[in-house]
């Protein structure tokens, strides 16, 4: 990441805009990842399940932040 007075440059493999996050889909992904992590099957790839859980949790956190920010803005404009 590079921060300049007029812009911020972020280098990432993937990115999503907050408004593009499908909360229901992220919740479903979180539940699936948690189920995989709690599974007693030997074939579970725990590293992939943990990565999936981290992605889902990050999406949900961003969506919640956006929801709160929009709620605050509506309350301030009322």
End-to-end Cα, the chain, rounded Å: 37
CA distance 8 to 15: 14
Instruction: Read off the pLDDT of residues 10-69 as tens digits, 9 standing for 90 and up.
Output: 888 888 999 999 999 999 999 999 999 998 888 889 999 999 999 999 999 999 999 998
Range of the domain at 41: 2-77
Full-model pTM: 0.76
Name the helix (H) or strand (E) containing 3: strand 2-3
Radius of gyration over alpha carbons of the chain, in Å? 17
- CATH label of the domain that carries residue 62: 1.20.5.440
Q: Is 15 helix (H, G, I), strand (E, B) or coil?
A: coil
Count of the separate structural domains present in the chain: 1
């Amino acid at each position: 990441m590079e921060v300049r007075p007029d812009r911020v440059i972020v280098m990432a493999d993937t990115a999503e805009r907050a408004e593009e996050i499908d909360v229901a889909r992220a919740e479903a992904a979180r539940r699936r990842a948690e189920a995989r992590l709690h599974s007693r099957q030997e074939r579970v790839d725990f590293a992939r399940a943990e990565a999936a859980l981290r992605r889902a949790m990050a999406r949900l956190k961003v969506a919640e932040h956006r929801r709160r920010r929009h709620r605050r803005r509506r309350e301030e404009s009322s």
